Structure 1
Amino acid sequence: MLTTGCEQAPPSGQVLARVDGEEITGGELRVEAQARGLSIRDAATRNALLGELVDRKLLVREARRERLDRVPDYILNSRRSDEVLLAQQLLAARSPNRTVPDDVARQLVRDNPQMFDRRAIVTVDQLSYAVGPRPLPPPPRTKAELDGLERALRAAHVPLQRSQQRWDTAELSAAAGKLLASLTAGQPFALEDGGRVFVGQLLAVQPQPVPAADQLASARARLQAEADRKLLARLTDQARDGAEVSYQPGFEPGS
């Protein structure tokens, strides 16, 4: 039986499937797999993922038929997704060499035990207040001393916060993380960090060392993330220099 001219040949080559004439290519499948953290080397996984892509295309077709692509929330979310993706693409384009040398990663591991070998989750009972003219108080050896310090500061009208917090020593500043990682439960601390004073006692310490086999990879990821943050700040500053930005009164950042 002869095929009519309007019929399409079955998908082949880079075209893996069609939904009402809309092609799904190998590149689209690869991007979908990367976004989900999946490997498509296995045929069963690949084919199942392709089936899910087809299902999504069908749902999208129905949504467009109902004109949901014109709903304000969809338009705003779509714009946000495009902007986030483009900003990520700019970051990737401006930092093509994203390889962190092994010696640099090893140095980070050596210099920061609180992130790796001595990483811990610590629970603290602490006072926190802005750095001022008064000297850093001595670490309170007991809860009674911490309570007394709180009363004295409140009597002096020092704005403060008393709270119990859980901290990951790997995510604190180097000075704070190293100090807390060196202490055991029941020991006191007093430090200045980020323009604030922190005074208190460790209630519990839960060691969470990074396995030796994972330390270099973790160090590389941290160094790359820090490089990305610096590059992002530089690109933003450069873009702002050539832009005219205005805010409605009361909406300025920091206001």
Structure 2
Amino acid sequence: MRLKAIMLGTTMAAALMLAACSKEPKGQVVAVVNGDEVSMAELNAELAGVNIPDNIDRAMLRRQVLERIIDRKLLVQKAKEQGLDKTPEYVSQQRRLDENLLVSMLGQKVAQTVPAPDDRDVTQYVADNPTMFGQRQRLLLDQLQFEAPKDNKQLLNLRDAHSLDDIAAILQKMGLASRRGRGVIDTGRLDPQLMSRINQMPAGEPFVLPSNGSFVASVIVGRDQIATPNNVQRAVATEAVRRRALFNESKAQIERARQQADIKYQSGFEPKKQAEARKAMPVDKPEVPDDPIATGQPIGAAPGTVPPPPAAAADTAPPPSPAAPPAQ
């Protein structure tokens, strides 16, 4: 009986392998890789993410993209042969990717429900953000670039500096090397509120902005006006107002979902306000869960990083553009 079962299992496995090998690329299937089909829809989806110039041979590009898909499937098959798709790391990352994809798709769906901005809102946005439009400038900067300290609180030591020389001296005492140079900032790329604070500073006063993992201290040494055509201003402002509406709607959906959700935290992982309220409870009536280690209960995983809002629901202004690193 056991021999018969083994033979039956072998026969079924052989049949499955034969079926996989017998698959033919036809119809909506453009290729078969060790029995794994590549569909026309999959190829088109891959092409949709490629910036295709008008003068390129699309048939040749399609073949190149197909070969890239085949290479990827071969690597995936190799990874599965080694059991990598069964590891806890894969399962965790796959879940995070799935969640972020769903959040992105939800953002796209929300974007379809947000109406085009009202012309008055666009006009008001242009008026409220002059450094992005009518008063847009190119700031010429004298700069000092330095690496981030181990503790960013050390940057508070720079509050009393009133020149780049002062900053250089403080950095030297902190043991941080610095590099002098020149740079440029387009005020249209900066958060208007940040630019407003910079404009309120006394002439020659340095300001510090992050730049690709390091910091750049800058002093404005010149300003050039940037003329922006009215139609370009309107287009940029329209998109900014629309993104603000998308952001607000996304935020509102999160708030509504939180109000309706049943969310429970392990002690020590709750939001700060809840933690402070818990600490303020009477000592004789603690509402603290039992120690999971002492009771043998499973310990909950640390909360993951909250996924960012969908790209369509980004904040209103362009992201602050860090100061350009000093030129050599």
* TM-score, normalised by the number of residues in structure 2: 0.49
Q: Is the 8 A contact 1:91 1:231 kept in 2?
A: no
Structure 1 residue matching 2:71: 3-state secondary structure:
helix
Equivalent runs, 1:212-231 vs 2, <5 Å: 212=229, 215-231=233-249
CA displacement at 1:111 relative to structure 2: 3.9
1:115 pairs with 2:129: no
1:10 pairs with 2:25: yes
1:90 pairs with 2:109: no
Q: 1:174 and 1:97, CA in 2 relative to 1: closer, same or farther beyond 3 A?
A: same
Q: State the match for 1:193 in structure 2.
A: none
Higher relative contact order (CA 8 A, sep 6+): 2
CA displacement at 1:250 relative to structure 2: 2.7
2:271 and 2:254 mapped to 1: Cα distance? 15
User: What amino acid is aligned across from residue 50 of structure 1 in structure 2?
Assistant: L
Unmatched 5+ stretches in structure 1: 130-139, 148-165, 190-200
Q: State the match for 1:240 in structure 2.
A: 258
Structure 2 residue matching 1:222: 3-state secondary structure:
helix
Q: State the match for 1:150 in structure 2.
A: none
Structure 1 residue matching 2:112: 3-state secondary structure:
coil
1:230 and 1:175 mapped to 2: Cα distance? 19
User: What amino acid is aligned across from residue 246 of structure 2 in structure 1?
Assistant: D
1:102 and 1:15 mapped to 2: Cα distance? 46
Q: Is the 8 A contact 2:24 2:32 kept in 1?
A: no
Q: 1:45 and 1:229, CA in 2 relative to 1: closer, same or farther beyond 3 A?
A: same
Q: Max radius of gyration: which structure?
A: 2
2:90 and 2:222 mapped to 1: Cα distance? 46
1:144-186: CA deviations, max 9, x gaps? 8xx9xxxxxxxxxxxxxxxxxx987446654442464688x93
Superposed CA RMSD:
4.4
CA displacement at 1:89 relative to structure 2: 1.5
User: What amino acid is aligned across from residue 36 of structure 2 in structure 1?
Assistant: E
1:50-72: CA deviations, max 9, x gaps? 11011101111111111100122
1:48 pairs with 2:64: yes
Q: 1:107 and 1:250, CA in 2 relative to 1: closer, same or farther beyond 3 A?
A: same
Q: State the match for 2:15 in structure 1.
A: none
Equivalent runs, 1:1-255 vs 2, <5 Å: 7-12=22-27, 14-37=28-51, 42-97=58-113, 100-101=116-117, 103=119, 104-105=121-122, 107-116=124-133, 118-120=136-138, 143=162, 169-170=187-188, 174-178=192-196, 180=198, 186=203, 202-204=219-221, 209=226, 212=229, 215-254=233-272
CA displacement at 1:116 relative to structure 2: 3.8
CA displacement at 1:73 relative to structure 2: 1.5
* TM-score, normalised by the number of residues in structure 1: 0.61
Unmatched 5+ stretches in structure 2: 1-17, 144-154, 167-183, 207-217, 276-328
Q: Is the strand fraction higher in 1 or 2?
A: 1
Q: 1:100 and 1:44, CA in 2 relative to 1: closer, same or farther beyond 3 A?
A: farther
1:73 and 1:187 mapped to 2: Cα distance? 52
Q: Is the 8 A contact 2:139 2:220 kept in 1?
A: no
Q: Is the 8 A contact 1:122 1:203 kept in 2?
A: yes
1:14-48: CA deviations, max 9, x gaps? 33222233222232223323445557982222221
1:41 and 1:209 mapped to 2: Cα distance? 39
Q: 1:122 and 1:245, CA in 2 relative to 1: closer, same or farther beyond 3 A?
A: farther
Identity %: 30
Q: 1:71 and 1:51, CA in 2 relative to 1: closer, same or farther beyond 3 A?
A: same
User: What amino acid is aligned across from residue 32 of structure 1 in structure 2?
Assistant: E
Q: Is the 8 A contact 1:108 1:219 kept in 2?
A: yes
1:63-101: CA deviations, max 9, x gaps? 111110012211111100100111122222233145645
Q: Is the 8 A contact 1:16 1:26 kept in 2?
A: yes
